[in-house]
């Protein structure tokens, strides 16, 4: 607790004590004495206490005032020293910072400080205080220091922002490919805006130091790149020495804009020195590109090589600086390699054609001189791009001329085995061959090659015919067709069909016939025998006629399935095993199966199904009245035998209609019943007359 509070409490305590004593006297001695004591003693005690307090406080306050002034002076002096320390550090680090006004104001502040007993040594950064200052003036000095610090910080912030804003001065180094973009990264707007008042000016100082390091490193890199370019191109260093020296000095002084200008100027001198050489090289590359693109090479080489030439053209169009002469040289090298690859392809193709033609008669083709030259070695021996261009153009001309000859002839030789036999066969058959006789677009070269290999053949390009001087070979073909079984006299037809001859003839016979074709040209023929009678299958064979030949063919009866299925067998192949058990059951129960019954397939497939199943079932399958009927023949014949034995008396007749209506379940036609009755009558001890519609018992 402070002393003044303690004193106040003490005085209050004395007054209260006096009042308490007065109350005691009033209670124990009488009211008059107590009243006098309270109203007279209490003021006396209070006044006396105050007098003592005042006497004690007067002297110490004079001592405290002097100490306070000294302390205040030290505080102000420390503020001055702190201000100067920051200012002096920044001023020394950034001599280009214009802070003269701040320094003048600081000098005036120091003069005011000296009047108040504060002396400050700027060189040493130290101060002394004399203790003679006025507190109010010291407070005013403190305020002046704070104001000056604010002015200093604002001035440095403005300087720093202006300096950092000039970072774009480094951009030309990137644009001229002297440094990478990452090498000139500087603080962005976000970093600047994030600097708080409390962080300034230290944070601006950090950003500036980072920028300085970046700028100087980028300029060092750029100068080194200029020197490298000059050295690689064989230039004297004096060409760039002055500009690079200026750039180095400007960078050290922080004048980065001037340093960049000097560096770029040095680069420009290198570029100027190289301009003539670059222009000449570029013209040579463009001349080679023009030559390749206007040549006939595109007709003989791979599309990928042509694409590579187009790619080089696009890349060369992007090269516009003499400093990129190495890039231009790289593109020129790629172009030369591509051009050489074109020649290699053409040379290989020509060699392959010559190899293909090696077995062809000399009279058929001529081997070009270009086939015996190593064209790649010829190109490799050139000493410059212009010499390469001339050699390449001449080489492509020689190779293309050679390929125009060998490609056609080689293609004919490769395809010839596929048509040689056809040509030979046509000559044997007709004595001559025309383009229409062979399956090639241009028959002339094939005829020419055939004639070169066969002395007995001659080719006349004027009428496009290959001939042997004769009418061709002719032979007799004797065809002997027959039926599988004998029967009534029936017609047999014979057809002979080939590329050089087609003829048809017929004969009538009970069993075996003969048809003669007297003069048939040499060649291959299909010979077919058939009959217009229903229920038979034609037979065909192929003969190669190179002599008189006899052919025998048998026309067999068609199976029921072959007669009714018309190609449906494959569709029913998988269905038949599943349906057969049900069909067997129907046959066993009813004694027959016909299309009128219900089946789990389409109606148009039912006849084929019954025919296929009937051929493998226990029943008999036949066409009866135009429909397929499968029936139990044993059961039906037994029934007919019973009818003939027990239901007919001597001299009686029974129509087939009556049989079906009264005694039969199988819907057999009159024709089928006539056939069956004729067969079973021999088993009955009686004579019968079997007609087409009834049977009569004798």
Q: Does residue 371 sit in the same domain as residue 518?
A: no
CA dist 461 and 445 (Å) reads 9
Q: What is the pLDDT of residues 586-600, one digit of tens each?
A: 999 999 999 999 999
More confident residue, 622 or 91: 622
Whether the CB-CB separation of 492 and 508 falls below 8 Å is answered with: yes
Q: Which of 491, 525, 558 is the last residue of a domain?
A: 558
- Give the model's confidence band at 195: pLDDT under 50 very low, under 70 low, under 90 confident, else very high: low
Q: Does residue 574 sit in the same domain as residue 546?
A: no
Examine the pLDDT at 190 and tell me if it is beyond 70: no
Whether residue 262 lies inside any domain: the answer is yes
User: How confident is the model over 307-326, as a mean pLDDT?
Assistant: 89
Q: What is the pLDDT of residues 664-693, one digit of tens each?
A: 999 999 999 999 998 888 788 788 888 899
User: How confident is the model over 384-403, as a mean pLDDT?
Assistant: 94
Examine the pLDDT at 54 and tell me if it is beyond 50: no
Amino acid 8: pLDDT: 55
Whether residue 423 lies inside any domain: the answer is no
Nearest to 415 by CA among 389, 397, 391, 441: 441
Whether residue 459 lies inside any domain: the answer is no
Residues with Cβ within 8 Å of 291's Cβ and at least 6 positions away in sequence, in order, are 389, 392, 393
Q: Does residue 567 sit in the same domain as residue 679?
A: yes
Q: What single-letter DSSP state applies at residue 437? A: G
Range of the domain at 38: 10-53
For residue 492, count CB atoms less than 10 angstroms from its CB and return exposed for 0-12, middle for 13-18, buried for 19 or more: buried
Q: Does residue 176 sit in the same domain as residue 264?
A: yes
Q: Does residue 26 sit in the same domain as residue 91?
A: no
Tally of CA atoms within 13 A in the half-sphere of 348 that contains its CB: 8
Amino acid 586: pLDDT: 95
Amino acid 509: pLDDT: 92
User: How confident is the model over 104-120, as a mean pLDDT?
Assistant: 81
Quickly list H helices, 416-482.
Answer: 417-430, 444-453
Examine the pLDDT at 555 and tell me if it is beyond 80: yes
CA dist 215 and 183 (Å) reads 8
Q: Which of 22-36, 91-105, 537-551 has the lowest mean pLDDT?
A: 22-36
Q: Does residue 232 sit in the same domain as residue 361?
A: no
Amino acid 186: pLDDT: 63
The number of angstroms, rounded, from the C-alpha of 371 to the middle of its chain's C-alpha atoms is: 41
Report pTM. 0.47
Q: Which of 558, 589, 613 is the last residue of a domain?
A: 558
Whether residue 464 lies inside any domain: the answer is no
User: How confident is the model over 182-211, as a mean pLDDT?
Assistant: 67
Examine the pLDDT at 192 and tell me if it is beyond 60: no
Amino acid 61: pLDDT: 46
Structure tokens at 223: 């100068």
User: How confident is the model over 319-345, as a mean pLDDT?
Assistant: 90
Whether residue 518 lies inside any domain: the answer is yes
Whether residue 622 lies inside any domain: the answer is yes
Q: Does residue 229 sit in the same domain as residue 246?
A: yes
Amino acid 3: pLDDT: 47
- Give the model's confidence band at 113: pLDDT under 50 very low, under 70 low, under 90 confident, else very high: confident
Q: Does residue 597 sit in the same domain as residue 518?
A: no
Q: Does residue 642 sit in the same domain as residue 495?
A: no
Whether residue 86 lies inside any domain: the answer is yes
pLDDT over 90 for what percent of the chain? 34
Q: Does residue 236 sit in the same domain as residue 191?
A: yes
Examine the pLDDT at 86 and tell me if it is beyond 80: yes
Amino acid 2: pLDDT: 44
Q: Does residue 492 sit in the same domain as residue 586?
A: no
Whether the CB-CB separation of 323 and 274 falls below 8 Å is answered with: yes
Amino acid 543: pLDDT: 95
More confident residue, 499 or 283: 283
Amino acid 46: pLDDT: 58
- Give the model's confidence band at 214: pLDDT under 50 very low, under 70 low, under 90 confident, else very high: confident
More confident residue, 225 or 627: 627
CATH number at residue 521: 2.60.40.10
* Mean per-residue pLDDT over the chain, rounded: 84
Q: Does residue 523 sit in the same domain as residue 596?
A: no
How many domains is the chain built from?
5
Examine the pLDDT at 58 and tell me if it is beyond 60: no
Whether residue 196 lies inside any domain: the answer is yes
More confident residue, 102 or 245: 245
Q: Which of 398, 415, 432 is the last residue of a domain?
A: 415
Q: What single-letter DSSP state applies at residue 558? A: P
């Amino acid at each position: 607790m402070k002393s003044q509070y303690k004193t106040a409490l003490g005085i209050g305590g004395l007054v209260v004590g006096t009042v308490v004593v007065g109350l005691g006297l009033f209670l124990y001695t009488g009211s008059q004495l107590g009243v006098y004591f309270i109203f007279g003693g209490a003021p006396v005690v209070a006044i006396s206490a105050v007098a003592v307090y005042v006497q004690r406080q007067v002297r110490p306050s004079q001592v405290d005032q002097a100490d306070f002034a000294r302390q205040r002076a030290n505080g102000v002096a420390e503020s001055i020293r702190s201000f100067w320390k920051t200012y002096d550090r920044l001023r020394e680090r950034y001599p280009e910072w214009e802070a003269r006004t701040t320094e003048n104001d600081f000098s005036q502040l120091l003069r005011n400080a000296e009047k108040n007993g504060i002396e400050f040594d700027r060189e040493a950064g130290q101060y002394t205080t004399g203790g003679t200052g006025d507190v109010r003036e010291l407070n005013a000095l403190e305020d002046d220091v704070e104001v000056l610090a604010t002015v200093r910080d604002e001035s440095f912030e403005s300087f720093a922002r202006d300096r950092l804003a000039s970072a774009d001065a480094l951009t030309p180094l990137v644009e001229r490919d002297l440094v990478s973009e990452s090498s000139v990264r500087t603080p962005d707007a976000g970093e600047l805006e994030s600097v708080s008042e409390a962080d300034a000016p230290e944070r601006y100082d950090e950003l500036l130091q980072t920028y300085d390091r970046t700028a100087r490193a980028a300029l060092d890199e750029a100068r080194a790149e200029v020197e490298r370019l000059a050295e690689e191109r064989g230039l004297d260093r004096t060409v760039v020495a002055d500009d690079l020296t200026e750039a180095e000095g400007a960078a050290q002084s922080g004048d980065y804009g001037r340093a960049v200008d000097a560096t770029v100027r040095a680069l420009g001198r290198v570029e100027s020195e190289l301009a003539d050489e670059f222009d000449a090289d570029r013209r040579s590359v463009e001349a080679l590109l023009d030559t390749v693109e206007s040549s006939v090479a595109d007709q003989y080489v791979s599309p990928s090589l042509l694409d590579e030439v187009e790619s080089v053209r696009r890349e060369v169009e992007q090269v516009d600086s003499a400093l990129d002469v190495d890039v231009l040289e790289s593109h020129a090298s790629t172009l030369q390699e591509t051009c050489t690859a074109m020649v290699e392809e053409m040379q290989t193709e020509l060699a392959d054609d010559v190899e293909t033609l090696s077995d062809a008669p000399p009279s058929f083709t001529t081997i070009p001189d270009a086939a015996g030259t190593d064209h790649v070695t010829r190109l490799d021996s050139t000493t410059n791009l212009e010499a390469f261009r001339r050699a390449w153009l001449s080489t492509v001309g020689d190779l293309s001329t050679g390929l125009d000859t060998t490609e056609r002839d080689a293609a004919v030789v490769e395809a010839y085995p596929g048509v040689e036999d056809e040509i030979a066969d046509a000559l044997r058959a007709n004595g001559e061959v025309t383009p229409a006789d062979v399956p090639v677009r241009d028959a002339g070269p094939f005829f020419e090659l055939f004639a070169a290999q066969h002395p007995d053949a001659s080719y006349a390009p004027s009428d496009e015919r290959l001939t042997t001087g004769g009418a061709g070979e002719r032979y007799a073909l004797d065809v002997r067709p027959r039926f599988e079984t004998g029967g009534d006299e029936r017609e047999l037809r014979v057809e002979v069909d080939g590329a050089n001859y087609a003829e048809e003839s017929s004969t009538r016979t009970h069993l075996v016939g003969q048809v003669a074709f007297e003069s048939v040209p040499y060649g291959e023929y299909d010979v077919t025998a058939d009959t217009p009678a229903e229920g038979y299958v034609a037979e065909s064979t192929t003969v190669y006629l190179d002599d008189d030949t006899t052919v025998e063919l048998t026309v067999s009866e068609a199976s029921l399935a072959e007669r009714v299925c018309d190609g449906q067998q494959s569709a029913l192949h998988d269905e038949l095993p599943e349906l057969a058990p049900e069909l067997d059951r129907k046959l066993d129960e009813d004694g027959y199966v016909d299309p009128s019954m219900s089946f789990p397939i389409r109606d148009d497939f039912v006849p084929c199904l019954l025919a296929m199943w009937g051929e493998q079932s226990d029943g008999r399958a036949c066409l009866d009245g135009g429909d397929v009927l499968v029936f139990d023949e044993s059961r039906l014949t037994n029934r007919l035998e019973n009818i003939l034995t027990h239901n007919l008396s001597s001299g009686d007749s029974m129509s087939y209609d009556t049989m079906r209506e009264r005694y039969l379940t199988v819907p057999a036609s009159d024709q089928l019943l006539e056939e069956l009755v004729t067969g079973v009558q021999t088993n009955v001890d009686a004579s019968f007359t079997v007609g087409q519609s009834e049977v009569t018992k004798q």
